[in-house]
Structure 1
Amino acid sequence: MTIARHLATIDLLRSRPFPTQPVRSDVGTSAPGYHTAELSTSEELRDDLSQREVTEEQYDAEREALAAVLSARWGLPQVFSLSSVLSRSVEEEHIPEPWGLLSASVPDVHVWHVEGQWVVLGVSQWDTELPYQLLAVVTEVDPP
């Protein structure tokens, strides 16, 4: 059950204290104020445009399925683009982490505010040859 495994990972992140220094965890990375998890990662993609499109659709569908389950728990998420956050960071505005990191590779996110924490889902794709990732972030840092 992939969705069940993703939910367990998100619940684990929500229960962990935030570290005082950046560290690699068993599911991703953690730093002061946030945890990230790489819920799933595709194979590396080469020059096959049709395969990239299929993979992108698959990862978007996986995010939507997980978002539906989380919405049943916490209500509908806020859904917004991170493009303006990326633009602001390029213009040398300080963007707090994890938002700066997310904006570099995740075009849009689904966000829930739960018990003082932000739970974030997004699909990352750093480069046309690099894999897609379904990411979850739990943070106490407000979105910029």
Structure 2
Amino acid sequence: MDIAKALAAIDRLCSGTFPAEPTRTDTGPAGPGYRTAELATSEDFREDDGARREETAEQYECDRDGLGERLTERWGPPQVFSLYSVLARTTEGEAVAEPWGRLSGHVPDVQLWRARETGRWVALGVSQWDEEWPFQLLAIVTDVDPP
């Protein structure tokens, strides 16, 4: 992962507008009040015995933490926000505002900052939908408060 490119993508999300309807942009999913950047995507793990998956998970967490260090220099230490309770609430049928409801299905937790310049929330998380699917390092910028 190229940290300079990832920071530029986050800056672009922070300064950009949000779409009026859910859509897919050149950086990832977006909708009213949020935009996502898929900063890195691994290969899938259909032919893996588990070793490559574990190594990739560790690498993506390291990439998230390294990028997080740069954001900490800007905005101070992050909150670590678990999305487990959000997932439980959506599973029980509760409507949770996006992007939080959707994220909870594939991102267990996020590092979360409040950008001083815009007041928007900036979250970093590692996504993995299923054991065979690829990992993704995601940056999410939103004006929707965490639930």
Q: Same fold (TM over 0.5)?
A: yes
Spell out, residue by residue over 1:20-65, the C-alpha distance to the aligned partner (whole angstroms, 9 max, x if none).
1122211112111000110000001124211110000000000000
TM-score normalised by the chain length of structure 1: 0.97
Specify the code of the residue in structure 1 equivalent to 2:137.
L
Distance in 1 (CA, whole Å) between partners of 2:25 and 2:6 is: 15
2:53 equivalent to 1:52: yes
Q: Percent identity?
A: 59
Q: Which of 39-48 and 94-103 deviates more?
A: 39-48
Which ranges in structure 2 are unaligned for 5 or more consecutive residues? none
Q: Which residue is 1:25 aligned to?
A: 25
Distance (Å, rounded) in 2 between the aligned partners of 1:25 and 1:108: 23
Superposition map of 1:58-69 within 5 A: 58-69=59-70
Distance in 1 of aligned mates of 2:130 and 2:60: 15
1:70-98, Cα deviation, whole Å (9 max, x unpaired): 00011000002111110111111111100
Residue 16 of structure 2: aligned partner: 16
The offset of 1:140, in angstroms, is 0.4
Give yes or no for the alignment of 1:95 onto 2:96. Answer: yes
TM-score normalized with structure 2 length: 0.95
1:2 aligns with 2:5: no
Amino acid at match of 1:101: R
CA RMSD of aligned residues (A): 1.0
Map 1:105-144 → 2, pairs under 5 A: 105-114=106-115, 115-144=118-147
Flag as ranges the 4+ runs of structure 1 deviating above 2 A: none
Deviation, structure 1 residue 143: 0.3
DSSP-derived class of the 2:111 partner: strand
Which amino acid is 1:62 matched to? D
The alignment covers a number of residue pairs equal to: 144
Match of 1:36 in 2: 36
Q: Which moved more, 1:46-55 or 1:32-41?
A: 46-55
Q: Distance in 2 between matches of 1:24 and 1:106?
A: 18
